[in-house]
Structure 1
Amino acid sequence: MPKAGPASVAFRNVSMRYGAVTAVDNVSFSIEAGKLVTLLGPSGCGKTTTLRMIAGLEIASEGQILIGDKDVTRLSAADRDVSMVFQSYALFPHMNVLENAAYGPTVKGLPKAKAQEMALEKLALVGLKGFEKRFPSELSGGQQQRVAVARALVLEPQVLLFDEPLSNLDAKLRRRVREEIRELQQTLNLTVAYVTHDQEEALAVSDRIIVMSNSRIAQEGTPRQLYEEPADAFVADFIGDANMVDVTVKSVADGRAAVAIGPANVSLAARGLQPGPAKAAIRPQSLLVSRHESQGTLPGSVRKCAYLGNHLDLMIETAVGELFVISHDVDDMLLPGTPVWLSFASSGVILVP
């Protein structure tokens, strides 16, 4: 029987309650077949519970969950065509790599030779050809992660789920493994729901991101939409660093706003705001530092300057508060107390509704 291929996932007004605690509150979203969508948010926001409801490891208190066109709301994990890669990898220590990868089809009652053939194919896919006889304890963290992915892929599920898959890896390896996961997802045309609290990871791997806060969806969109058009201060600050600053919208015309940031004036997309007090999110790399005063700049004084190899991290005291600035002029170490003037790049300064 041929496999069904990737399937879409849809949540319709789904809630999850544990007694008096609401872990997920009336959430609706969809994941297109063959896309990677990340659930992103701080600890306790409801993202892992949402993932576990897709898996059938938690049964929703209310609402409807669809995989493909099939209502799976009340189905157990065993009756859903999904596989999950856990944060801890959950490999069996007494089984070698091949046995671990062949576990799913073996449990489903396939002949041992067939199960191993399926497992070998997926191990080759994740670059573990030749590692079949090793045990998990003989593998690096990155290799264990790949065994877990191969094991999840063996049954060619309609939906593949990842729960914080990189959190046990060091920073360099994390970048490599996330690229591998993304490549695999695109090559095999998999539907993937991916949970992380790491915004850089989410920006790097996702077709779309669903940002969760306090058991609800704060915003969803492409990585670029969330970064360039955050719906509120929470999203602006969570996706990429942002300085949240009080500003004044002086006038609005043709969708553009004349905005005063302290003594400086800028023109920004109005985003539906009217004249009056407002908030702006200013990305650290959108503040341009000069030692010379010029028209329309924001004066400030350097409080801290740290050298980070390819850039400087600066804290600059200004009329609108202390601003975090990233400068790529690494040759100009600015001593505390140095007077500077800040101007604004054409992107990365955003009015927040």
Structure 2
Amino acid sequence: MSSSSSLLRSSASKKQAASVEFRNVTKRYGDVTAVDSVNFTIEPGTLVTLLGPSGCGKTTTLRMIAGLEMASEGQILIGDRDVTRLSAADRDVSMVFQSYALFPHMSVLENVAYGPSVQGVPKKQAEAMAIEKLGLVGLAGLERRAPSELSGGQQQRVAVARALVLEPQVLLFDEPLSNLDAKLRRRVREDIRELQQSLNLTVAYVTHDQEEALAVSDRIIVMSNARIAQTGTPRELYEEPADLFVADFIGDANIIEGSLVEVNGAEATVKIDTLNLRLPHRGVKPGPVKLAVRPDAIALDEQAAQGPAIAGRIKKASYLGTQIEYDVETAIGNLFVVQYGRKEPIETGKSVSVSLSSQRGVAIIPGA
């Protein structure tokens, strides 16, 4: 999809992007509640990710946007139109499935032109529409190939072109990168994000991969046990988790116990063993608190640390190229620590001083 920005602009969708709104939407399968009284809005022209573990309700929510599942209760709006009881064919949305769902007996061109063709568009016009969208996703010249002759990344682009060809108001992605290797996932997610921004598309995107969600999203809806745990920008979710589940699920976090000893304006003094921190209190009153501490906010020193520090011992060290990961035993529990820019890991069994290199990676968890 790395075609020129001028091509992206000239091929922009003729339809205006539409919002998506859920109002107290519930989905039940018999006695099982898959989605429980969910409310959210996806603003026009934004990419919003539904993120959560398996079984949390994110895919069911996406399928209700598509009209592939019907809500048991509540209201679903696309733009200003109530689509709650409309079929998938009447909703003006397109979905890119996890499996891509390409027709193996059709060429790339025939796959992409299939949608317009079944809607009665003349063959030449349908093919012209397909060629335009294939150019848009960087597949010009591959129109006559069979899907089996393409790489996984190219097949994924064919699926995107097929979803775009009818210029839907809303584009849906269901775990679109799960079949790709790690390096290709990173490149294709950048392609999807560039395409979404260049065409001003409204996109609902489902994944269980936290890094993927943080990389592509304007906003993220974190789901847990059929409900929304928190909604916010990637930074808000990472730096200000609403509860223990979000703190632990978004990125890696050490959950540490401390004591909030004093509130002064928007900030509070928090004591963790020998460390005293000034942090936003987030509405939490003095007393015992739990904190989310990101692995890269922790500093390890093989020498005596300058200032207050906590004694620790290296239990495990893993070299990962760009970073070294440690399991460190301390008086406040085992800590997961990440160091960047170091060539040799600290030896297992070595004593270290543990302090905080940045308080930006530390947050009080409300209600914990």
**Shorter-normalised TM range:** over 0.9
Deviations 1:2-44 (A, max 9, x none): 9532110000000000000000000000001111000000000
Cα distance, 1:346 vs structure 2: 2.8
Specify the alignment match of 1:331 in structure 2.
Answer: 343
Alignment partner for residue 347 of structure 1, among 347, 357, 360?
360
Aligned to 2:6: none
Pick one of 10, 20, 25 that aligns with 1:9.
20
CA shift at 1:260, angstroms? 1.4
**TM-score in terms of structure 2 length:** 0.94
Select between 208-217 and 243-252 the one with higher mean Cα deviation. 243-252
- Say which of 293, 296, 305 aligns to 2:308: 296
- CA contact under 8 A between 2:277 and 2:359: conserved in structure 1? no
Please name the residue that 1:241 is paired with. 252
- AA aligned to 2:111 is N
Is residue 278–residue 351 contact of structure 1 (8 Å, CA) maintained in 2? yes
- The answer to whether the 8 A contact 1:307-1:330 is kept is no
State the one-letter code of the partner of 1:346.
Q
Superposition CA RMSD, Å: 1.1
SS at match of 1:327: strand
Separation in 1, partners of 2:104, 2:272: 59
More divergent stretch after superposition (327-336 vs 68-77)? 327-336
Query: Which residue is 2:8 aligned to?
Result: none
Please show how residues 212-227 of structure 1 align to structure 2 within 5 Å: 212-227=223-238
Paired-residue identity, %:
68
Q: What is the alpha-carbon distance in structure 1 between the residues aligned to residue 29 and residue 149 of structure 2?
A: 40
Which residue of 2 is the match for residue 99 of structure 1?
Answer: 110
Paired residue for 1:78, among 80, 89, 104? 89
CA distance in 1, matches of 2:300, 2:331: 15
> Following TM superposition, by how much is the alpha carbon of 1:295 offset from its aligned partner in structure 2, in angstroms?
2.3
Which residue identity is paired with 1:284? P
Matches within 5 A, 1:185-334: 185-293=196-304, 294-334=306-346
* Deviating more after overlay: 323-332 vs 283-292: 323-332
Amino acid at match of 1:334: I
Aligned residues: 352
Moved over 4 A (4+): none
Q: Is the CA contact (8 Å cut-off) linking 1:262 and 1:298 kept in structure 2? A: yes
TM-score by length of 1: 0.98
Alignment partner of 1:40 out of 42, 51, 59: 51
TM-superposed deviation, 1:146 = 0.4
| Matched residue, 1:108 | 119
**How much has 1:275 moved relative to structure 2?**
1.0
Point out where structure 1 has 5 or more consecutive residues left out of the alignment.
none
Task: State the SS of the aligned residue for 2:23.
Answer: strand
| Structure 2 counterparts to residues 130-169 of structure 1, below 5 A | 130-169=141-180
Contact 1:316–1:323, Cα closer than 8 Å, also in 2: yes
Moved more, 296-305 or 134-143: 296-305
| Aligned counterparts of 2:144 and 2:343: Cα–Cα separation in 1 | 53
Determine helix, strand or coil for the equivalent of 1:347.
helix
Tell me the amino acid that sits aligned with residue 296 of structure 1: P
2:9 paired residue number: none
Distance 2:127 2:223 in 1: 40
Residue of 67, 75, 78 corresponding to 1:56:
67
The amino acid that maps onto 2:237 is L
